[in-house]
Every structure is written in structure tokens, then in C-alpha cells.
Copies of this chain bind each other. A is one copy, B any other.
């Protein structure tokens, strides 16, 4: 089910700036029944994005009511909230009086094989490189062609994700998840101040591991890690079993973060 500005409908104006220019933001949120364990962080990022793009912020209480409305009857749902600058005249200049468009939609949680949480996923290295754009880094805006191109590089269903690097050869993330690597006993996650998305699951992991280093992560160093895992607000903590031909075993840091995820209220499959 879907609500557009609070009304049950499944279409938006063809003049919406979200379509014309990708002028907006989104959040993808895992619901567990009528509960969204990471709701506060999603809201925080959405509001930060609105502030950065100077899009009027939505009413958060209203968003939550709409989230409950669209997900009714779905015991495990993925919620997508999209906020755009709204309809506008032709031209890049943001209208002085723009009224944001708010789309709240719920989808059934995709099936995920239980054993990926236990054994890990296979990952490839993408050829698509992310551009440095500090003005847009971190927020979850609608300009996602880089991710579409990276994800279009393969369609082997045995490969669950792709690692994407920046143009200096530093790992930034997976196409739709953040990345953590354990290197010489220390957890490291790439900084996302020039490209990439500051994931809500990433923020949760970082809070739980204050000693985790947030820094540049050269690809070779990443591949030499003792553990690699991905974090996603929808898919949770995903051990990486292999990056191309390099194999990894899920280790104690990965397992600890999976335990944290269960404690947060996600019915994560037993690791």
C-alpha cells in the first residue's frame, strides 16, 4: 500500500522534481510488526538530508502514522519513505514556495536464505567507481545512477553484493550496504564524507563499537582483513564469505554485531 501526501494513491505528478532531477531523499526502513527499531536514526538522517538540500522537513509524527497505515497486515515489511521538493516549473532553480511531496510505501520483506547470516554472502568488486561529491555525500538522496550502474554489472544470483570504490581506489561500501572490515584486530569502516551513504545500520554499529576506526580504506588493505561484514537497515549484519576469489570466515566481531542486531529487536536468523 502507498500514500502520497497522505492520500491512498500509487502515482505522483509527472512534473515532480523528484522525477525531473532526483531532487529529493529517501529512507528504506525495516519494520518488525508495528515497530521500527531504527526509526529514530532514519528520521535523523532524513531531516539532515532535508536541511542539506533545503527541502521542507516532513512532520515526523504524521510519517509514522502513515508508516503504520501502509504496513498494516504485513508482519515483516520494508518501508520506503520518499520526500521530494515537490512539483515545480521547468528549470533547476528551486521554487520559492515549494511544497514537498511525501510518499510512504510498504513492501513485503524480501525472502532471505537463512544460511547467508550463518555462512555469509559472496561479493564481487565493481568496476563502477563513485565520484567525490562532498556536497551530497552521506545523505540518502535520489541521485542513485552510480549505484544502479554498479548493481547492473552482474546478474549471477549467487553474488549478493558488489564492493564499490572511489576514484582513488579506496573501498567505500557495497552497492546498498555499508562495509566493515577487521584489520589487525581493529574494526574499520570507510569514511563517507566525500561519497557514499552514512547508513543507519552503520551508525548503529559505530555506536556499539566506539573503537571502530572511520577512515580511508585502500582496497588492498580491505581485502587483507580477517573479517568483513556488511550492514544494512533492511538486511541486517551480513558476513562476507568471499570477495571475488578471496575467502573469509565470519569472525567474532561479525557475530557480536549479529547478536546486537537480534537484541535490537530484529528477528535475525541464527548466526
> In the complex, A21 Cα to B176 Cα: how many Å?
12
- Whether B135 contacts A149 by the Cβ 8 Å rule is yes
B82-A152 in contact (CB<8A): no
> Is residue A113 contacting chain B, with contact meaning CB distance below 8 A?
no
Which residues from 1 to 45 on chain A have a C-beta closer than 8 Å to any C-beta of chain B?
2, 4, 9-23, 26, 28
Q: Is A189 on the interface with B (CB-CB < 8 A)? A: no
User: Considering only CB atoms and an 8 Å cut-off, how many residues of chain A contact the other chain?
Assistant: 59
Q: Which single residue of chain B is at the shortest CB-CB distance from A150? A: B92
Do the beta carbons of B14 and A103 come within 8 Å of each other?
yes
For the complex, give the distance between the alpha carbons of A129 and B131 in Å.
Answer: 12
Q: Is A258 an interface residue (CB 8 A)?
A: no
Contact A26 B20, beta carbon cutoff 8 Å: yes
**Contact indicator A90/B80 (Cβ below 8 Å):** yes
Binary contact readout A84-121 vs B (1 if CB under 8 angstroms, 0 otherwise)? 11000011111010000001010100100000000000
Question: Hey, which chain B residues are within 8 Å of A133, CB to CB?
Answer: 131, 146
> A13: nearest residue on chain B (CB-CB)?
B11
Using known A-B contacts A94-B148, A94-B152, A145-B141, determine if residue A18 contacts B21 with beta carbons closer than 8 Å.
no
Question: With A and B bound together, what is the CA distance between A26 and B23 in angstroms?
Answer: 15
A147→B20 CA distance, assembly (Å):
12
Given A20-B82, A22-B22, A148 and B13 touching (CB < 8 A)?
no
Answer whether residue A175 sits at the interface, using C-beta atoms and an 8 A cutoff.
Answer: yes
Which of B4, B78, B82, B143 is A145 in contact with, Cβ under 8 Å?
A: B143
Interface residues of A (CB under 8 A from B): 2, 4, 9-23, 26, 28, 53-54, 78, 80, 82, 84-85, 90-94, 96, 103, 105, 107, 110, 128-129, 131-133, 135-136, 141-152, 155, 167, 175-176
List the 6 closest A-B pairs by CB distance, nearest first: A22-B22, A131-B131, A143-B143, A21-B144, A131-B133, A92-B151
